[in-house]
Amino acid sequence: MFLVTNSTQVPFYFILMGIPGFEVFHTWTSIPFCCLYTVSIVGNSVILAVIRAEPSLHEPMYLFLSMLALIDLGLTLTTLPTVMGILWFSASEISFEACFTQFFFLHGFSFMESSVLLAMSFDHYVAICHPLHYFSVLTKKAISRIGIAIICRCLLAVPPPLFLLKRLPFCGSHHLSHSYCLHQDMIRLVCADTTNNNWHGFALVLLIIVLDPLLIVLSYALILRSVLRIGSQVERLRALNNCLSHILAVLILYVPMVGVSMTHRFAKHVPPIVHISMANIYVLAPPVMNPIIYSIKTKQIRRGILCLLFPVK
C-alpha cells in the first residue's frame, strides 16, 4: 500500500460515490434530485426576495429567517455540482483542493445553520417570555452582532479539522462513500494517527450536536413555562403555533445530522445505500423543507409571496 498526499502525488484526487447498485439508472435518478435542488434554490430565493421587498418583514424573526434561507442556499450550491455531476456525467473524480474546499463550505454552512436555529430559539423566547422588551433587546445592531458571532463561530470551528486532516497522508484507496466530501468519510482514508482529529471532531460534536440542541430545548422549556401561565387556551395555542415552524426546522436539521454521525461511528458495516441515503437526507432535507414549512406556516410570508407573484397594479 502506498501513501499519497497533496504533496507526494500531484494531482491527487478522490473518487466520489453515486448511488450503489443504481449506476445504470443515474439519468433517471437525477430527475428527483434535480427537482429537490430546484425547489431548494427557488424556495430559499423567494423567501429572501419576499423579506427584502416587504418593509413590514424587516423584523428580528424574519431577519433570522433570511439568514437561514441564505445558509440553505449556500448549502445547496455547495453539494449540487458534485451530486449532479455524478448523476448526469458520471464525473466522480474530484481534486484534492476542490474536495477540501467543499469540505469547508459544507461543514461551515451546517454549523452556521445550527447557530441560526439557536438564535431563532432565543428570538422566540424573548418574543413570548418578554414581549414588552422584544424590540429593545433584539435591535438591528444586536442582530448584526449575532450574525457576526455566527460567522466567527464557524471560522473558529471548521478550519482546525480541515488543516489537521490536510496535513495527514492518505492511503492508496481514493474512494469516498458519498457524492460529496464529508469529514467523517475522508478521515477513513488516512494512514496515520488521527487522535487529534478524533478529539477535535468529538469537541465539535459536543458543541454542535449536543450543546446547541440542549440550549434550544432549554429555551423551549422556559417558553412552555411562560405559556402555561397564560390564562386563555386560545392564546396558549397561538403562542405554541408560532414556534411550530422553528421546531420542525430544528428536527429536520438535527435528526439527519445525528443519523449521519451515528452510522459513520457505529454502523460501518451496513450496506453502502444506507450511508448514501442518510448523507443525501442530511444535505437536502433542511434546504428543501425549510422554505416549504415557513411558507405554509407563516401568514406574513404567504402574503408576501402572493404579492410578489401577483403585484397589485
* pLDDT one-digit tens code per residue, 24-48: 778 898 999 999 999 999 999 999 9
Report pLDDT for 268: 66
pLDDT tens digit sequence for 85-112: 999 988 889 998 999 999 999 999 999 9
Q: Return the pLDDT at 66.
A: 95
Q: Report the Cα 254 to chain-centroid distance in Å.
A: 9
State the average pLDDT for the chain: 86
pLDDT of residue 172: 63
**What pLDDT score was predicted for residue 199?**
82
Q: What is the pLDDT of residue 165?
A: 87
Report which residue type is found at 36: L
Strand partners, 14: 94
Q: What is the pTM of this model?
A: 0.91
What pLDDT, on a 0 to 100 scale, did the predictor assign at position 267?
67
pLDDT of residue 313: 58
pLDDT at 85 (0 to 100): 92
User: Which residues of the chain fall short of a pLDDT of 70?
Assistant: 1-11, 172-173, 231, 264, 267-268, 312-313
pLDDT at 227: 86
Record the cell numbers describing residue 297, joined without a space.
Answer: 406556516
pLDDT digits (tens, 9 = 90+) for 229-242: 876 777 778 878 88
- Vertex 212, ends 206 and 215: CA angle to 5°? 120
Q: What residue ranges define each of the domains in the chain, with the CATH number in brackets?
A: 13-309 (1.20.1070.10)
Q: Which long-range contacts (CB under 8 A, 24 or more apart) does 239-245 make?
A: 239/128, 241/297, 242/124, 242/127, 242/128, 243/124, 243/128, 244/297, 245/293, 245/294, 245/297, 245/298
